[in-house]
Amino acid sequence: MADSCFSGFKAFPVKFSIESTAQHWLFYKEHSVREKNADKPPDQTLFIINVPPYCTEESFKRIFSEYGKVISVFFHQKPSAGLPPIEESQFFPRHPLIKGFKVAYVVFENIKGLQKALKLHTRIEPLILSTDETPIICGLQKWCKEYNERIPDVSLLKKDIDNFMEKYDNEESENAQKEKETMEEDDEGWVTITKRGRKPGFARKESVEKKILGKERQRRSKKELQNFYRFQIRESKMKHLVTLRKKFEEDKKKLVKLKESRKFRPF
């Protein structure tokens, strides 16, 4: 297995801890894509797949630091040339957590570290992910830790909300100021129309905008020339006759039903 290679990938073994009897195989190759990213330089980045859910950034930094200084480790649900999304809020995450197996990008400080790591397939002894110095929390300890983390600190939560509202108010004031500036006359006397009404500070509702657009469509439709040509007049007359005949037949059926309902039925 150590010498196996498929689709450009090579493999090396890892173990969860020194006491583990089973080992897991990680597949790796040099990171190389068309879309370049300064945080993932191709000549310094190792691309790894089949990464178990319990692997952490700290454990990867430790096992790969044997081959060179590791600058950063990125985990993704699937291969990506970009960077993982950064959560701005500790209590209100906008991006889902990575669940199950994942892929990893290990970025070394220089090309020498990558060249040494590319020879991992020649290694016989598996690398140990969890040690006494850098343990990976799992099982009951992990569940207890996640449960305790779900109980927020009220002071930190209040600070997070205040920072969000402050940022939101600043963005709204900046947008209002920009719209106010655009509504002012330029040197030639032109005024840019925005989504706000004549009174700055009061935004038009969506229902009002739809009503205005509907009236504009009606106004334009009245200006359009209808039944201008002879063939258009003939077609409109034929359609009108068909409609009248259809209505006449429907009225006849209604009269028949009314007469049937008025019949005298003593038994």
- Encoded tokens for 233: 């007049």
Q: Mind listing the pLDDT tens digit for each residue in 164-179?
A: 889 889 988 888 887 7
Instruction: Name the pLDDT band for 45 (thresholds 50, 70, 90).
Output: very high
Instruction: Using the predicted structure, report yes or no on whether residue 15 has a pLDDT greater than 60.
Output: yes
Domain ranges of the chain: 5-148, 194-224, 230-261
Q: What is the mean pLDDT of the chain?
A: 83
Q: Which CATH architecture has domain 5-148?
A: 2-Layer Sandwich (3.30)
Provide mean pLDDT across the span 187-205.
58
Q: Report how far residue 130's alpha carbon sits from residue 117's, in angstroms, rounded to the nearest whole number.
A: 19
Residue 200 carries which DSSP code?
T
Q: Evaluate if residue 225 carries a pLDDT over 70.
A: no
Q: Are 120 and 10 a contacting pair, CB within 8 Å? A: yes
pLDDT of residue 200: 52
Which range (46-55, 134-143, 195-204, 257-266) has the least confidence? Answer: 195-204
Q: For position 2, what pLDDT does the model report? A: 47
Tokens 């597949």 belong to which residue?
Answer: 27
Residue 74: in which H helix or E strand, if any?
A: strand 70-76
Tokens of residue 216, six digits: 């504009």
Highest mean predicted confidence (pLDDT) among 105-109, 122-126, 158-162, 220-224: 105-109
Instruction: Provide the whole-model pTM.
Output: 0.60
Q: Taking a C-beta distance cutoff of 8 angstroms, is the pair 89, 154 a contact?
A: no
Residues 194 and 180: their CA atoms lie apart, in Å, by 9
DSSP secondary structure of 135-200: PPP-HHHHHHHHHHHTS--HHHHHHHHHHHHHHHHHHHHHHHHHHHHHTS--TTS-----SB-SST
What confidence tens digit (pLDDT) does each residue in 131-177 have?
A: 888 888 888 888 898 888 888 888 888 888 888 889 889 988 888 88
pLDDT of 195 strictly over 80:
no
